[in-house]
Chain A
Amino acid sequence: MYGDFEAQRHWMEITIHLPIGQWYWYDLGWWGLDYPPLTAYHSWVCGKIGSLVSTEWFALDSSRGYESYNQRVFMRATVAVSDYLVYVPAVVIFTKWHSRAAGTDRYDRSIALATLLALPGLIVVDYGHFQYNSVMLGLAILAFASFLADRLLWGSLFFVMSLCFKQMALYYAPAVFAYLLGLCVSFGSRGGEDGESRGGGGNGGFSITLPAPLKVRIDLQTLLLLGVTVVSTFAVMVAPFAVFPGAEHGAAQQLAQMVHRVFPFARGLWEDKVANFWCATNVVFKYRELLGQTALQRISLGMTLLAILPPCGLLFLRPKKNLLPWGVAGCAWGFFLFSFQVHEKSVLLPMVAMTLVVAGGLDRDLLSWIGWANNVAMFSMWPLLRREGLGLQYTVLTALWSWLLSLHELPSSMFAKILHVGFYAGAIALHVAEITVTDGIVQRFPDIWVVGNVLLCFVAFGSIYGWVLYRMADEAGLVDDLLAVLGRASEEGEKERLKKVE
């Protein structure tokens, strides 16, 4: 009955009425606070402002489940204002820096900006379903923009803020960590060459060079400063809870409770129906019957690590600016596909991250893939959106997006053409079936269209993950290197053959 709207409203209610020490403890059965502290502070601000208009909206306890026209408008307005204060400027700044680094021209830059502002999935989840993802995403994008502008410390500050707004930003964290570490660590002969792309602490500070066989140079000063920034930002964010823990709980207990609320390890492998590896293959293998909770958690962790290793590894070894969005996107896709406890809305993270690459230059293939990926993500959220009566918004936004990006122009490779067209055919068939077929098979399998949706989207998301890795490798020059190696091999083979002939 109640959902995210009531959760957010309730948090405004408890944050403005209760001392900070009780925020993570108060009547947890009714939508207890389970987001990190920055969300709580944001709720406090919104609740305070809203209470100026009407004290009824956020009255303690008595306002549970309260909804009225004006209050709904107010809540929607907080989403819009937060979006315009965080996400929009972040995207503008990011586009500026990324296109500067990549040398994108002004026209393409405007298109990239428009693309990022028009993301249908983000609009429909934040403004329709009701969440504040744009704040978390905006802060993360601001962090990426700072990295591109060589302001590593600002970047890590923003990234920690993003994490402190919504723990979901962890999907990006390994890639960010790998990128920053990669900037601090350089390998032997390529050390000097990478000097340009390194920012922040610069080369003047102290660094150590490991003994000859390893040829590793570590920029200790930058590393240390980054560590201090991250730790102190976290500390500032959680400090109010430790400083004012209240009478009932100690400071340590407060922090432990926060972690416990933010990371509910006890929940299941997946929630509802999500187009990730676990939910899709569950159609065949009933994991929950075959394996225990702990074993599943371990396997899932292992597979996630495996999936994020290529993008993160590449970022660590070649921390180039143009690779950052690709690495972050690959890492987020790895999490979405294989990790534990994924929501269908989590697809926003990889989706937004991979759309960021448009600021680095537009080509037809890129636009086709990214436009398509956004459509797949939108379609994967259809069961949720349908339940919430957002069919009109879903249809119009998807159609408008496809038209804006001219998605009738398919990518050049035959495989991609078949994949895209096949997906659209499948998605349309599922939509039509859902409307027209009402008995027979639906009575036996009431979830059949949702399962079809999950399977179709899983195949698509898997391919998108693969494509991101391929494009990233291409961008990093690995594909050219590989081709060169192959070319040299075949050249040598040819020479040898000629020699033999002689």
Chain B
Amino acid sequence: MATEHPTFSQCLVLATALKLLLIPAYRSTDFEVHRNWLAITHSLPSSKWYLEDTSEWTLDYPPFFAIFEWLLSQLARFFDPGMLQVNNLNYASPQTVYFQRLSVIVSELVLVLSLRRFVAIQDGPQAKKVARIIALSLLLSPAFLIIDHIHFQYNGMMFGILIFSLSDALTDNLLRSGILFAVLLCFKHIYLYIAPAYFAYLLRRYCLGENLLDIQIVNCLKLGSAIGAIFAAAFGYFTAIGQIPQLLSRLFPFSRGLCHAYWAPNAWALYAFTDRVLILLAPRLNLSIDSASLGSATRGLVGDTSFAVLPNIPPRVTFLLTLAVQLVCLAKVFMQPSPTRFVGAVTLCGFASFMFGWHVHEKAILLPLVPFSLLALQDRRYLGAFRPLAVAGHISLFPLVFKAAEFPIKSAYTILWILVFFMTFDTVVPVAKSQRIFFLDRFEIVYMTVGVPLILYTELFHFAIFGSKLEFLPLMFTSSYCALGILGSFLGFFTLYLTS
């Protein structure tokens, strides 16, 4: 087979050049968060890691990530020891910026390698071609560019591990898949959201035989001991010194509100939007308004969200809703276990927790977005469900990078990505085997056309018309718009998953 251009490495070089040029770009407080973790892990014994609270950005990732930071800090010494002092709050010397930005770029090689592996496991030239396009779309994804390389996080590495694990699952290498996922959980606990899919699938395919009663004892022992060993490696020490309650309180801070300051585009954003609209309509409809909570959802504080007209949502409701959706997917994958259905289940678990979860962060959109990308090119129906997510998921990240200088970069790059990859997707996707869903089709076109004027309004015209007044308005529009797209994509994919 002739090599196709542009090759994977060519794209990698170009993307890396762009990322290097973005080193001086805007960075969020997450930069300081990670700098603080470098300092904590470097200058304190591990028994103090989860106790230290000089900075408000305490260590709240599981131990493997802390160890990763410790490893980085060993190199950071040679760049600038100043960044490794716990008291140097908001320290950002040029060397610190270069070191941390470069660590993101280099650690993203895990994602690069995992994508190569994902392409390598496909059989036949056509499957390889399709997988290559998916791999390129993830490698060049605006989501990673915005979140990791501008906003600052290490998602590239994390999702690299996830894709390695999913690739193993696709090739029925289930033990290794499970081990990798356990490792991933010990890096970043947000992946607990998709853990149910792993649990169900590994239980069904690895621990039980064809007949459900035919329990594979050897496999159970292998998987159990491997995962146990990994968790012991991560948490054993902290258990020994009795810090598990402290560690858990850092990992799961339950005191936050339903919506984040900027509403992540999920069901609750639509709910909150409806509430805001009802406030305006309340006098006509004779609804009673809880005036104490008028400003709450839009004040922009990380705190409790309360609604003025609609009933408030207790955490229990979000939990139950998420669980209900996840259980449906799990039942399906348990009954008909197949590798692609498993990836679908992972996607839906991500979707469900994003749509209905408590205090969801907009960055969590990667959780459904990445595994869905791997399935998006199966046929036209999948692609049709994927497109609104790809548009809305990326646009929903725009408010993360809110400074004027990055506006052209994020919007031009995202629009270019959408154009290039949507056109490429169209050329390789086979026609659906069964009837398309009429509604979804039309919805998609209208939805995408609305996107561009919306970006222009929220990023440019709003400022020109209102100045700095009504700051929450563009954010509310963005998040409601994106929530609609993600909801559509979720429903579309859910239907496909259950019916296929």
Contact = CB atoms under 8 A, between A and B. Distances in A.
Interface of A: 53, 69-70, 72-73, 76-77, 80, 392-393, 396, 399-400, 403
Interface in B308-356: none
Nearest to B21: A396
Contacts of B23: 392
Nearest to B98: A392
A80 B404 CA distance: 14
Main SS class of interface, B:
helix
B124 interface: no
Interface of B: 13-14, 17, 20-21, 23-24, 403-405, 408, 464
Contacts of B405: 69, 72-73, 76
B404 A399 contact: no
Contact of A392 (B13, B24, B404, B464): B24
B20 A396 contact: yes
B17 A399 contact: yes
Contacts of A76: 405
A125 to B, nearest CB: 16
8 contacts: A53-B464, A76-B405, A80-B408, A392-B24, A396-B17, A400-B13, A400-B14, A403-B13
A393 B21 contact: yes
Contacts of B404: 69-70, 73
B94 to A, nearest CB: 9
A392 B20 contact: yes
A396 to B, nearest CB: 5
Contacts of A77: 408
Contacts of B403: 69
A80 B464 CA distance: 20
Contacts of B13: 400, 403
A400 B24 contact: no
B17 A400 contact: yes
Given A396-B20, A396-B21, 5 more contacts: A69-B405, A76-B405, A77-B408, A396-B17, A399-B17
Q: Top 9 closest A-B pairs, CB basis?
A: A73-B404, A400-B17, A396-B20, A73-B405, A396-B17, A396-B21, A70-B404, A403-B13, A392-B23
Nearest to B20: A396
A392 B25 CA distance: 12
B409 to A, nearest CB: 11
A126 to B, nearest CB: 15
A221 B321 CA distance: 84
Contacts of A72: 405
Contacts of A392: 20-21, 23-24
A220 to B, nearest CB: 51
Contacts of B408: 77, 80
A80 B409 CA distance: 12
A69 B403 CA distance: 9
Residue from the set B20, B24, B464 with the largest chain A CB neighbour count within 10 Å: B20
Contacts of B464: 53
A399 B17 CA distance: 9
A184 to B, nearest CB: 45
A76 B403 CA distance: 14
B460 to A, nearest CB: 11
